[in-house]
Amino acid sequence: MSKPYVIGIDMGGTNTVFGIVDARGVVIASASIKTQKHSDINNYIDELYSETMRLVEANDAVGKIHGIGIGAPNANYYTGIIEDGVNLPWPTPIPLVQLVSEKFGIPVAITNDANAAAIGEMTYGAARGLKDFIMITLGTGVGSGIVINGQLVYGHDGFAGELGHVIMKRNNGRLCGCGRTGCLEAYCSATGVARTAREFLEARTDASTLREIPTEDITSKDVYDAAIAGDRLAKDIFEFTGNMLGEALADFTVFSSPEAFILFGGLAKSGDLLLKPLRNSLDKNMMSIFKGKVKVLVSELKEADAAVLGASALGWEAKPMVNIVPPQL
């Protein structure tokens, strides 16, 4: 193979992780940059290019990169455009495939970040051998990748599978970054957990170590640390989050009857703090014909690998754009 590697890029709302991947799905090397660091998308592309080139040169991969695959929030597989990146610091739409192709000089393909994670999990992780599953990413937002009969679902316009924006509270719900109110993402993302903490601290009077932290500075990691230490209020926050996520998964089951839900991202590492109330709620709210048929699994891949590997798979299929300069990598 004349060009044995691809670049996989996972663009998250907080960090962007990228890696060099070979044809067997081995991540040769990886690194990251801060997504939120730049207010200008062109400056972000410049840093992504320079840091990726540093990685390529350090691993003797110059001239050996076949293509680039990107997983990004609300990225459209068909158009190559991020049309509504609600957790990104730049105005949308963003013609990301065009920008990256022009900068790197090689073919680029893109998909939703959660879809990329689903592809990686199906190929290398907990979803191996499964033809019907739903990937749920619990990070800055809540994303999903839906696989039916072994095929990722894109819909007619490339935007199928935005389960993080299913409305869970029709009345007096929280404002979501998408502009609607009551979305699952507003409650069960890492930022949603922090919002729940602030609401609980205001509504309740019981003691909590979370009260020692300035309210606006509380993160989901702070809530996790407090819960592990036995803080009752922090545990109740996870109970609330798990209950709502379980309700949502019960509803999603009715749609596609998945064999499993695969949880990925920072909150998925919370263990039984999240999984116990989630599974109890899922079972309680599950339609009877589906009871006992759906597993809840946690990603088997390292946190960055599922999305990077999934994105990298697109790199092998990426097609060159017209008028792109000769390959530089």
The gap between the terminal CA atoms of the chain, to the nearest Å, is 15
Mean residue pLDDT of the chain comes to 92
Q: Which of 91-100, 246-255, 296-305 has the lowest mean pLDDT?
A: 296-305
Specify the residue for token string 């803080």. 231
Task: Summarize pLDDT for 99-128 with one digit per residue, the tens.
Answer: 999 999 999 999 988 888 898 888 888 999
Task: Summarize pLDDT for 59-82 with one digit per residue, the tens.
Answer: 999 999 999 999 988 889 999 999
**Cβ(328)–Cβ(105) under 8 Å?**
yes
Distance CA 311, CA 315 (A): 7
pLDDT band, very low/low/confident/very high, at 273 (cuts 50, 70, 90): very high
pLDDT number for residue 322? 45
Task: Summarize pLDDT for 141-181 with one digit per residue, the tens.
Answer: 999 999 999 999 999 998 899 999 999 999 999 999 889 99
Between these two residues, 177 and 304, which has the higher pLDDT value? 177
Is the pLDDT reported for residue 41 higher than 70? yes
Mean pLDDT of the region 289-305: 89
Distance CA 318, CA 329 (A): 15
Distance CA 101, CA 104 (A): 5
Task: Summarize pLDDT for 218-244 with one digit per residue, the tens.
Answer: 999 999 999 999 999 999 999 999 999
pLDDT band, very low/low/confident/very high, at 205 (cuts 50, 70, 90): very high
Distance CA 144, CA 263 (A): 9
Distance CA 21, CA 254 (A): 36
Q: Which DSSP category does 216 fall into?
A: G
Question: Strands 108-112 and 27-34, how do they pair?
Answer: unpaired
- Pseudo-torsion of CA 284, 288, 290, 292, nearest 10°? 60
Closest CA to 86 of 96, 77, 78, 75: 75
Domains in the chain, ordered, with CATH?
5-117+305-317 (3.30.420.40), 129-298 (3.30.420.40)
Report in angstroms the alpha-carbon separations of 22 from 36, 63, 309, 328.
29, 14, 10, 18
Q: How many residues are given for the chain?
A: 329
**Cβ(299)–Cβ(262) under 8 Å?**
yes
**Cβ(71)–Cβ(16) under 8 Å?**
no
Task: Summarize pLDDT for 134-147 with one digit per residue, the tens.
Answer: 999 998 899 999 99
What percentage of residues in the chain have a pLDDT greater than 90?
75
The overall longest dimension of the chain from CA atoms, in Å, is 66
pLDDT number for residue 120? 85
Closest CA to 204 of 181, 165, 228, 231: 231
